[in-house]
Amino acid sequence: MGSDRTFLYGIAGAMLVSSITGAAFAAEREYSPGVGTDYPKSVYFGDLHLHTRNSPDAYGQGNKELSPADAYKFARGEEVLSSSGVKARLKRPLDFLAVTDHGEFIGAYYRFTAGDPALLESNVGKRWSGFVKEGKPEKLMAEFVTSIETPDSARNKLPEVVARSIWSEVAQTADQYNAPGRFTTFAGYEWTSMTGGNNLHRVILFKDRADAVSKILPFSAQDAIDPEKLWTALEGFEKSAGVEVLSIPHNSNLSNGIFFDEKTLSGGPLTKTYAETRMRWEPIVEVTQIKGDSETHPVLSPTDEFADFERWDSWNIMGRVKTTPEMLPGSYARSALKRGLEFEQKLGANPYKFGMIGSTDDHTALPTTTEDNFFGKFANSEPNAHRSETHMASGKYVDWQLGSSGLAAVWAPENTREALFAAMKRKEVYATSGSRIMVRFFGGWDYARDAVFRDDYVKVGYGKGVPMGGDLTRAPAGKAPVFMMLALKDPDDANLDRIQIVKGWLDKDGKSHEKVYDLALSDGRKVDPKTGKAPPVGSTVDVADASYTNTIGTAELAAVWTDPDFDPAERAFYYGRVIEIPKPRWTAYDAKFFGVKMPPDVPMVVQDRAYTSPIWYTP
């Protein structure tokens, strides 16, 4: 106790001194020009969710050979042969990549076929060999799914020597391809929890090197399917191995409402501890990827004309239970952020105060996100003339529904594990549905109306406010928050249609609301004051030719915006959304390339977009 107190006094003393010296020198120039400019100057684009042959489903679906090493090579720009024999290459390499295979039987199916003796001699291996001898390979297949939904860690335990060797290989391969400053890699895996066919999947991401990461073994859904147990395990990792770790939820759209629920998975009420623990481990959520977009839904946001995007809302992930409207609020990010405000009011802590990223979730080891270079979900949806008709994993969703999405964008001072990981923790990240759209988003109280058009707009952004992921509190008397937003098109992709701010807030009765504001529009369009809507940007897409022109839209949109409806007593969040002009969807490129006719219900045009992490206002 005594030393704690001394420590606190020490901090108080240091703060006093620094505030005095800060004030004394505030008006003076800094001698060293670098002082005060250590803010992020670059945005890095990458994928934090990718599967290889090490995932049982990827392997079973035909990715027999493409390894984590192949994935890293591909992501850093090399040409790789896909599982179905199609040459693949990225037009521009990614800045970072995490290979995150399913933690359940990670690498084991591949090892089993390759004849790993230790695996073959284990109980699991003998059981699998038994299925093979019986001529019932489907039983082997069932093992992965059964093990996820009904955890039985004793029954599914791989020999320690096998599990350790696979996991340390995963971590070592990541280290081998990590090139600080140029290409960053992360070790990771997926915790593939499901219940009743409802998705609760998370990516588990490690910041550290293989020597530390190899000290642990993945805590998988075979150990437990309750996220609260996962968080306890993650805390154990940090304590026992000295690593830093994050959990990134995804595909909330396929959870039938249980991802951002109003109760815990075990049926208890949400508590302050639950909220704090969840946000300790899950500061960001993957809201857009190949299996659909999770920002919002037309039923939840009926007046938002961009709410209907790459929508997967017929069934849960296993196609067992139909999705009904009352499930939707727990399945989408915007409604979850609103729910978060409600719970914060009640509990004093917000369980859903997350930033947003995109990633691919491709199972081909090939993270592709542009419409003209789409390599699908599994080997069967790699480029071929019939992939619009086949079903994903022989389930209910059809492969034309796959989206060529998405990317994680991270604002960081440099492209290293440390810098990227720190940015994720402070939520200075955003999602794109595939294009490399650049977005700056700041909130404060004193930005000048022209601040975003000045050379030093970034310095002002950080100096007088907070970036995406940040907090505003205690509104100065008579002031409303001011937001500075700037978006730049992907230099080799479509122009921009508009930039917007999505606001969510909690009224005096504890009820949450949302509203979308157009901040800037291309082509001189104006918002109609009566309807509050702007006319659509139009389209230059020639579907048959799979082409478009950048003769509409614009390369850059920027605005400084003050919330006209601000009430300092009401909790709120604000996030930026950028919309591109329409361009041909991958289905249109396929139709032209393979000379096939797409079924009439297949969308052929897409408006890619970006979502920033929110900035929250708390009274």
Q: Does 393 bind other proteins (CB under 8 A)?
A: yes
Q: Does 438 bind other proteins (CB under 8 A)?
A: yes
Rounded (5°) CA angle 124-128-131 = 145
Instruction: Decide if 330 contacts 260 (C-beta within 8 A).
Output: yes
As measured in angstroms, the least distance from the Cβ of 493 to other proteins is: 9
As measured in angstroms, the least distance from the Cβ of 292 to other proteins is: 16
Nearer to other proteins, 237 or 378 (CB): 378
Q: What is the C-alpha to C-alpha distance for residues 421 and 521, in angstroms, rounded to an integer? A: 34
Strand-pair category, 355-358 with 284-289: parallel
Q: Does 120 bind other proteins (CB under 8 A)?
A: yes
Q: Does 555 bind other proteins (CB under 8 A)?
A: yes
Q: What are phi and psi of 414, to 5 degrees?
A: -155, 165
Residues from 340 through 359 that contact other proteins (CB under 8 A): none
Q: What is the C-alpha to C-alpha distance for residues 361 and 367, in angstroms, rounded to an integer? A: 8
As measured in angstroms, the least distance from the Cβ of 572 to other proteins is: 27
Q: Which stretch binds other proteins (CB under 8 A): 138-146, 273-281, 528-536, 605-613?
A: 138-146
The tokens for 585 are: 């969807």
Residues from 180 through 219 that contact other proteins (CB under 8 A): 182
Q: Binding residue for other proteins (CB under 8 A) from 201, 297, 353, 436?
A: 436
Q: What is the C-alpha to C-alpha distance for residues 434 and 572, in angstroms, rounded to an integer? A: 28
Instruction: Decide if 381 contacts 419 (C-beta within 8 A).
Output: no
Q: Does 440 bind other proteins (CB under 8 A)?
A: yes
Nearer to other proteins, 391 or 592 (CB): 391
Q: Binding residue for other proteins (CB under 8 A) from 132, 161, 385, 569?
A: 132
Report CA 402 to chain centroid distance, whole Å: 16
Q: Does 21 bind other proteins (CB under 8 A)?
A: no
Burial category of 548 from C-beta neighbours within 10 Å (exposed 0-12, middle 13-18, buried 19 and up): buried
Q: Does 376 bind other proteins (CB under 8 A)?
A: no
Q: What is the C-alpha to C-alpha distance for residues 415 and 400, in angstroms, rounded to an integer? A: 35
Q: What is the C-alpha to C-alpha distance for residues 561 and 324, in angstroms, rounded to an integer? A: 37
Q: Which stretch binds other proteins (CB under 8 A): 111-119, 538-546, 592-600, 608-616?
A: 111-119
Instruction: State the binding string over 90-109 for other proteins (x if CB under 8 A, else -).
Output: --xx-x-------------x
Q: CB under 8 Å to 332, separation ≥6 — which residues?
A: 252, 253, 260, 294, 295, 296, 297, 300
Q: Binding residue for other proteins (CB under 8 A) from 7, 9, 453, 593?
A: 453
Q: CB under 8 Å to 422, separation ≥6 — which residues?
A: 412
Q: Which amino acid is at 363?
A: H
The site for other proteins (CB under 8 A) is made up of: 41-42, 45, 56-57, 59-62, 64, 77, 92-93, 95, 109, 113, 115-117, 120-121, 125, 128-129, 131-133, 135, 137-138, 140-142, 144-145, 182, 318-319, 378, 391, 393-396, 436, 438, 440, 453-455, 457, 486, 488-489, 491-492, 554-556, 558
